[in-house]
Amino acid sequence: MAITRRFMRGVTPTQVFDVLRDGFSYGHWVVGTRKIRDVDSGWPAEGTKLHYTVGYRPLRKDDVTTSRSYEADSRLELEARAWPAGTALIVLTAKAVDDGTLVSIDEQPWRGIARTLHNPLADAVIKVRNVETLRRLEQQARSR
């Protein structure tokens, strides 16, 4: 399990979730996402999807992330497809603390071969990626 946290001083949970509710913003702050191709109407309501592209030819892949649950301004649970590896379960939370917001990403392999082969090295790589992802998310929240 790879949990990454970032304290965002002067940022509110609403500012963080304003970014999360903008499906087209994911291409700017999620490390590895090259382009958001489409966002289902009603995003991030349960069952809605982000349609995205990762990588570059010949390793380019179009895929989707599905919202599994959403609690306004506090929690978003996603299932990201990473074919052929399977899917990842990603839970983003935002909690007001002191003079800012504590934001966390809990990302773990959920289905497929990635879950079977899950190991501490994979967690370390995910953590490094998500440190940068949260840094970018903070920039997006501050710029709104």
Q: How does DSSP assign 59-100, residue by residue?
A: S-EEEEEEEEEEETTTEEEEEEEETTTEEEEEEEEEEEETTE
Q: Among 41-50, 53-62, 70-79, 92-101, whose mean pLDDT is lowest?
A: 53-62
Structure-block tokens of residue 128: 């490094």
Q: Is the pTM for the entire model greater than 0.85? A: yes
pLDDT tens digits for 90-103? 999 999 999 999 99
Q: How far apart are CA 26 and CA 53, in angstroms?
A: 11
3-state secondary structure of 7: strand
φ/ψ region of 86 (left if φ > 0, alpha if ψ in -120 to 50, else beta) reads left
Which helix (DSSP H) or strand (DSSP E) does residue 29 occupy?
helix 26-29
C-alpha distance across the termini of the chain, in Å: 31
The architecture of the domain spanning 2-143 is 2-Layer Sandwich (3.30)
Q: How far apart are CA 53 and CA 14, in angstroms?
A: 27
pLDDT tens digits for 9-25? 999 999 999 999 999 99
Q: Which residue has the higher pLDDT, 29 or 57?
A: 29
pLDDT at 74: 98
